[in-house]
Amino acid sequence: MPNTSFTELLAPWFDGVPEQEISGLSLDNRQIKYGDVFIAIQGYNLDARRFIAAAVHVGAVAVIADDGDTCGQFGVTFYNDVPVVAFPHLKSHLSEIASRFFQNPSKYMTTIGVTGTNGKTTVSQLIAQWIDLMGGRAVVMGTTGNGFLNALEPALNTTSSAVDIQQQLFVYKEAKATHVAMEVSSHGLIQDRVKAVAFDAAIFTNLSRDHLDYHGTMEAYAEVKLHLFTHYSLSVSIINADDEVGAQWLVNMPEAIAVSFSKSAVLVHQGRKLWLTFVSYSTCSVTIAFSSYWGDGEFTAPLVGEFNVMNLLLSLTTLLGLGYEKSALLNVAPKLQAVIGRMEIFHHIGKPMLVVDYAHTPTALEKALTALRRHCKGELWCIVGCGGNRDTGKRPLMAKIAEKFADKVILTDDNPRSELPEYIVQDMLAGMAVPTQAIVLHDRAQACEFAFINASNNDVILVAGKGHEDSQILVSGMIDYSDRDTVRILLEGKK
C-alpha cells in the first residue's frame, strides 16, 4: 500500500493539518491497523463519529471526521494526541481523498463505466473477455464480483464504497491490469462513490423500473444515470438508441456513438453509429451482422436471447470506439462465454432445459422470457419471486409479465428479508388476471424441483431473480442457497 503524509493527503482542501505519516484509510474502526486514517462518516443509519475513540485505541494515527452537510469550517482538534480534522461535506469528497491516497490509479488503466438498469454485468464481462482474448489484462468490478475473470472476489454492492473502489483500482494497477470494466449503479453515482474515477469510456444499456424506493421517479433515476456522461472527461460514450431514454440523450450528445437494432433509429444521429442488419438464433448461440462507422461485419457468439444481441453490440462498439481492430474482434468472438447467472443454460439430453437468470425487474423478466420462447419447443415455465423491503410497486408487474409470457408460473421467495413471504406473494398475485393458475411454493429448491419433475423434455424452465447469488436472505437470517447448484443437482439426479 502507498505511504504518504496526512498533510499531503488533505493539502487541496486544508493547509492546517499536522505532519503525520499514514499507511492506510478505513471507514470501519473494527478494521483499523496501526498507521491508518479513520474516516468517520455521518451515515444514513450510523454515525461513525461515535467510534473515533475506539479507532484511536486500536492504532488510528489520524482521523477525518464528517462535519455534516452544513457550511462548516475545516478545523483540527486532538484526541489523545491524534489529530481529528473536521471536514465539511466529507461524503462528496471521499472519492477524491481516496484517489489521492492511492495515487490516482484509474489514470493508469483504460477505465470503462457501464450503467443502466439491466445488462451491466453482461456488458462489463463481455468487454473484459474480449480484451483478454485480444491480449490485454482486464478486470471487472460489479455485481458478480471484482477482479480478473478467473479469480473474482465477492462484492457486497454493485458499486463499492468510494475508498474500496480506489483501493481495488490500486491493487489492479499494481497487478498490471490494462483495462477496468466497472458496473456503475445509480446509488454509486448519486452518492459520489465514483466521483474521482477517471473514466475513459461510458456505456448506457437501458433504463426501466428499478430502485424507485430510492429515487422516487423515473425522471430522477434517469438524471442520475446521465451524470456518468456529463460529469466525466470521456473519450468514448456509447448509447443504446433503442431505449427511449437513450434516444432522448442522443439528441444532445452528437459526440456519442449510437447503437441500434435498426438503421432508422440511428439515422438522425449526427455522430458515429452501429446498427444490426441481420441476426439468427440457434439453440445456444447467435449470429450477428452489422453495419457501422467502421464498416460491415459478422460474427457468432455462444449467447442466447435478443437482449444479449444488444449486449454484444454495445460491447463491440465500445472496443471499436477505443481503437481495437474490427477484424481481430470478430475473429475471437466465438470464444466469448455466457456470464454466470445471466441466461445461463443447464441442459442434459432427454431432460427439460433450465435457465438461471438474474432478471429481477419487470423489463428484464419480459426480455428473458421472450428470448427463451425462441428456444422453447414445448411449454415455457417461469419461477419468480420478489425481494422484501424493496420497491413494492414492481411486484404485481413481475407476476403480470410472468403470466403473460410464460405457460406455467411458479411464485416463490426471492430475498424476503424482514417481510413475511406470504405478503410479498399476495402483492404479486394482485397483478395476475387469473391468480388461481399460479403455483405458490415458497421454498425455491422445491419450486425448481416441482417444475423439473412436471415439465416435459421439450420444456424450458426459467429460474429468475437470483442468478449468480449463493445465499438467500430470509426473515430468520441469511442461508446458503444457489439456483445454479439447485438445477445442477436436479439434472444430475442427486437428492
Please name the fold of domain 4-96: 3.40.1390
Residue range 64-86: average pLDDT? 87
The per-residue pLDDT for 216 is: 57
Return residue ranges of the chain for CATH 3.40.1190.10.
102-335
Q: What distance in Å separates the CA atoms of residue 298 and residue 291, rounded to the nearest whole number?
A: 9
Residue 116 marked as a ligand binder: yes
Residue 193 marked as a ligand binder: yes
Q: What distance in Å separates the CA atoms of residue 323 and residue 9, rounded to the nearest whole number?
A: 36
Which CATH architecture group holds 344-492? Answer: Alpha-Beta Complex (3.90)
Residue 273 marked as a ligand binder: no
Residue 283 marked as a ligand binder: no
The per-residue pLDDT for 215 is: 47
Return residue ranges of the chain for CATH 3.90.190.20.
344-492
Residue 120 marked as a ligand binder: yes
- List, for residues 80-114, the tens digit of each pLDDT value: 999 999 999 999 999 999 999 999 999 999 999 99
Residue 157 marked as a ligand binder: yes
Residue 469 marked as a ligand binder: yes
Residue 484 marked as a ligand binder: no
Residue 27 marked as a ligand binder: yes
- Three cell numbers, residue 451: 417444475
Residue 416 marked as a ligand binder: yes
Residue 389 marked as a ligand binder: no
Q: Is the pLDDT of residue 490 over 90?
A: yes
- List, for residues 140-189, the tens digit of each pLDDT value: 999 888 999 999 998 777 668 999 999 999 999 999 999 999 999 888 88
Residue 73 marked as a ligand binder: no
The per-residue pLDDT for 357 is: 94
The per-residue pLDDT for 103 is: 97
Residue 67 marked as a ligand binder: no
The per-residue pLDDT for 209 is: 54
Q: What top-level class would CATH report for the domain 102-335?
A: alpha beta
Residue range 329-338: average pLDDT? 96
Residue 414 marked as a ligand binder: yes
Residue 242 marked as a ligand binder: no
- List, for residues 121-147, the tens digit of each pLDDT value: 999 999 999 999 999 999 999 988 899
Q: What distance in Å separates the CA atoms of residue 178 and residue 141, rounded to the nearest whole number?
A: 14
Residue 415 marked as a ligand binder: yes
Residue 446 marked as a ligand binder: no
CB 103 within 8 A of CB 196: no
- List, for residues 212-239, the tens digit of each pLDDT value: 455 457 788 888 889 999 999 999 999 9
Say how many CA atoms lie within 13 Å of 378 toward its Cβ: 16
Residue 421 marked as a ligand binder: no
Tell which wins on pLDDT, 212 or 389. 389
Q: Is the pLDDT of residue 443 over 70?
A: yes
pTM reported for the whole predicted model: 0.83
> Average pLDDT, whole number, for the chain?
93
Residue 21 marked as a ligand binder: no
| Range of weakest confidence among 27-41, 197-211, 259-273 | 197-211
